Amino acid sequence: MKAVQRWRLSMKDMQILPMPRHRSQLKKPTWILVLVSLVSLFLICAYIYPPHNSAACYVFSSKGCDSFSHWLPPTPAREFTDDEIASRVVIKDILSAPPTQSKNPKIAFLFLTPGALPFERLWDKFFHGHEGRFSVYVHASKDKPLHFSRYFINREIRSDKVVWGRISMVDAERRLLANALKDPDNQHFVLLSDSCIPLQEFDYVFNYLMDTNVSFVDCFEDPGPHGSGRYSEHMLPEVEKSYFRKGAQWFTMKRQHALVVMADSLYYSKFRDYCKPGMDGRNCYSDEHYLPTFFYMIDPDGIANWSVTHVDWSEGKWHPKSYRAQDVTYELMKNITSIDKSVHVTSDERKEIQVRQCLWNGMPRQCYLFARKFLPETLDNLMQLFPNYTTI
C-alpha cells in the first residue's frame, strides 16, 4: 500500500509541476519560397525563350542583349549531317594545305560580260608591258565580242546564258574560276564586269593582291529586308539565319579560296534552290549572298570583308550610280583612289552606316583597285587620264 501511495504521490507531484511549454511551430517564410520559385521559373523561361528586342534585354542589363547572352549556358552544338561532314573535311584539307608555289605567279582577270568590252583599249594600256604576269578569261553570255586588243583575242571560255538575279550568275563566276584554275600559275583571281576600269597601274595591283594572304570578298550583316529578310528556312540545317550575309559579287580571290568554291556543292545547292526571286514571297539574289555567307561560315578570317572594286550607291536607288563622260574628271578619279574606308548601309528602318577601315596586312591602305558602272562614252576621258590619277 505504501508503494502504491508513493506512486500516486509521484503522479500528483508531476501534475503539480509545470509542464514543459510546447513552442508553436514557426511560420514558414512562404513569401521567400514563392519569390525564389518565381525567379527560377522566370530564368528558365528566359533561357528557353531568350529576349530578341533591346527593350527586353535591358530588363537584365544596361548593356543589352550582349551582356545577357554571356551568362546564359551555351547552346548545345548541332550535330552535322553526313553531307556537312564530308564537305567540311574537304574544305579543311584545302585550306590547311600549303599554297601552291609557282615560279611565275600570275593574276587571272575574269571578265563577266553580256558581249562587247567597251574598255578593252584601257585594259590593253593597263596590261601592256606586263606579259607573263596575268591571264585573261572572258565569259560572254549573249554575243561573242569583237576584240581590239591582243590580250583578249581567243580568250573566251565556253559560256552560257546569264540572267540577272538568278543562280546562272554564280554559275558563270564558277565557270570562269574553273577555267582559270587549269593554269597552276594563276594564284589570284579577279572578277570584273564590262563596266569595270582599273584605278591603279598594273604593278600596284599585282603587289596589292599577291603580297597579302586574304581574299577581298565583300561581306557584312544586314538585318533588313534586303539582307536577312531574304533568308529562307529551307536552307536549314546547313545554313542558319545567323550566318546569312550580303555583299557585292565583285571579288578578288586567292587560289585556295577559288578551289574551295569549286569543291563546294552542298552550300551552293542551298542557294541555287532557295535563294532566288519570288522565293517564299521574297526576292533573294544568290550572287549577293552565296559567297559572303559561304566564306563567313568556312573561313571568316580569310576574307577582307570588302571588295576592291568601287561602286557608288550614294543615290539610294536600286542600281548604283552610272558615270557619264562629263563626270569623269581628274578630281573624281583622285577622290575614288584616295578612299581608305569601306561603307555599308543596312536596309532596315535604322539605315545603320557601317564604316570599316581598309586594312592591308594590318595597315591602313586605300581600298580600291578597280571601279565600275562607267558608261562606254567615258572611254576617251579615261584614256587621257590614266595613269595620271593612279599616283598616291
Return the half-sphere exposure (C-beta side, CA atoms, 13 A cut-off) of residue 79.
1
With CA atoms as reference, report the closest residue to 271 among 241, 231, 303.
231
In this prediction, residue 279 carries a pLDDT of 87
List the pLDDT tens digit at each of the 392 positions of the chain: 444 444 444 444 444 444 444 444 445 567 666 666 776 666 665 555 555 444 444 444 444 444 444 544 555 577 888 999 999 999 999 999 988 889 999 999 999 999 889 999 999 999 999 999 999 999 998 888 889 899 999 999 998 899 988 999 999 999 999 999 999 999 999 999 999 999 999 999 999 999 999 999 999 999 999 999 999 999 999 999 999 999 999 999 999 999 999 999 999 999 999 999 988 888 999 999 999 999 999 999 999 999 999 999 887 777 889 999 999 999 999 999 999 999 999 999 999 999 999 999 999 999 999 999 999 999 999 999 998 776 54
Please compute Rg for the chain using Cα positions: 33
In this prediction, residue 281 carries a pLDDT of 83
Q: What is the dihedral of CA 58, 63, 66, 72, to 10 degrees?
A: -70
Segments in the chain forming alpha helices (H): 2-16, 30-48, 54-57, 65-70, 82-96, 120-127, 167-181, 202-210, 255-263, 266-274, 286-298, 330-338, 379-385
In this prediction, residue 390 carries a pLDDT of 66
In this prediction, residue 3 carries a pLDDT of 46
SS3 content of the chain, % helix, strand, coil (to 5): 40, 15, 45
Question: How far is the C-alpha of 62 from the C-alpha of 248, rounded, in Å?
Answer: 36
In this prediction, residue 49 carries a pLDDT of 53
In this prediction, residue 74 carries a pLDDT of 56
C-alpha cell at 68: 545577357
In this prediction, residue 57 carries a pLDDT of 47
In this prediction, residue 168 carries a pLDDT of 95
Q: What is the dihedral of CA 336, 300, 181, 110, to 10 degrees?
A: -20
Question: How far is the C-alpha of 384 from the C-alpha of 392, rounded, in Å?
Answer: 18
In this prediction, residue 19 carries a pLDDT of 47
C-alpha cell at 220: 557584312
| Domain range summary for the chain, segments of one domain joined by + | 82-311
Fold type of domain 82-311: Spore Coat Polysaccharide Biosynthesis Protein SpsA; Chain A (3.90.550)
